[in-house]
Amino acid sequence: MALIDLNIPAGVYRNGTDLQSLGRWRDASLVRWHDGVMRPVGGWRKRSDDAANAKLRGMLTWTSNTDNRYIAAGTYNRLYVWDAGGTAYDITPAGLTAGREDAIAFTGYGGGFYGYYAYGVARPDTVRIQPATSWHLQPWGEYLLACNSDDGKVYEWQLDTATPTVAAQVANAPTSNRAIVVTAERFLFCLGADGNPRKVQWSDREDNTTWTPAATNEAGDLELNTNGQLMAGTTVQGQTLLLTSRDPHVTN
């Protein structure tokens, strides 16, 4: 029987319907493409038998100054750390505000109580999609900094697994933040600080508890000129990249 070549382009294409992705890979698991050829992802190894209580949305791996390895990850209402031996520690801060395990979008039919609006009257355009709670995790030297998009506070965990000690709120840091990022110069940036979706506020260099600007420190804040909302940040070569829902910004 003759063989027929299937020249399927590399990568997964899920835009639109099945018909629109005709002739493309639409779904995949544990594979990657190398030189245009599909290959299995190698190197997977089970790290721990201790599972989190819900879906993990946000993860960070790092190594301490004494060469101990850690994995931090958060769910909508918990924050965990796993050590190199696979032992899990619940370091959830006291009083953490629980968010949403999954996104909520009540914008169409069925998005409210039956009979809540008069028949034939358009609903007011005030309902927005609420995304699932996600964690922004950053290293502060060998310590862990954490902030999730619904709780909005900044927490620090100092590697204490003996008790274990839970993550503690960083003193004087802004609240109602959307995300955090630590720059290469060791400034802690709070994005969407104090509930302002365009405000970036940073601590003094090497001191994440000093936030009030003064002649003796480098703390400060800035409101971006954008019609988007700050979503995340990351360090790039020589700069810090800040991403809004509409555009990117860089600081240096």
Indicate whether 107 pLDDT > 60: no
Indicate whether 210 pLDDT > 70: yes
Q: What is the model's pTM? A: 0.80
Cα–Cα distance measured from residue 164 to residue 143, given in angstroms and rounded to the nearest whole number: 14
Strand partners, 69: 63
Mean pLDDT (the chain, rounded)? 90
Phi then psi for residue 195, to 5 deg, are: 85, 0
Indicate whether 234 pLDDT > 70: yes
Given a contact cutoff of 8 angstroms between Cβ atoms, the answer to whether 240 and 200 are in contact is no
Q: Which of 42-46, 65-69, 123-127, 191-195 has the lowest mean pLDDT?
A: 123-127
Phi then psi for residue 145, to 5 deg, are: -110, 140
In terms of C-beta density within 10 A (0-12 exposed, 13-18 middle, 19 or more buried), how is residue 75 classed?
Answer: buried
Percentage of residues of the chain with pLDDT beyond 90: 69
pLDDT, tens digit, for every residue of 116-160? 667 777 666 666 678 899 999 999 999 999 999 899 999 999 999
- Give the start-to-end residue ranges of the domains of the chain: 10-44, 48-251
Indicate whether 231 pLDDT > 70: yes
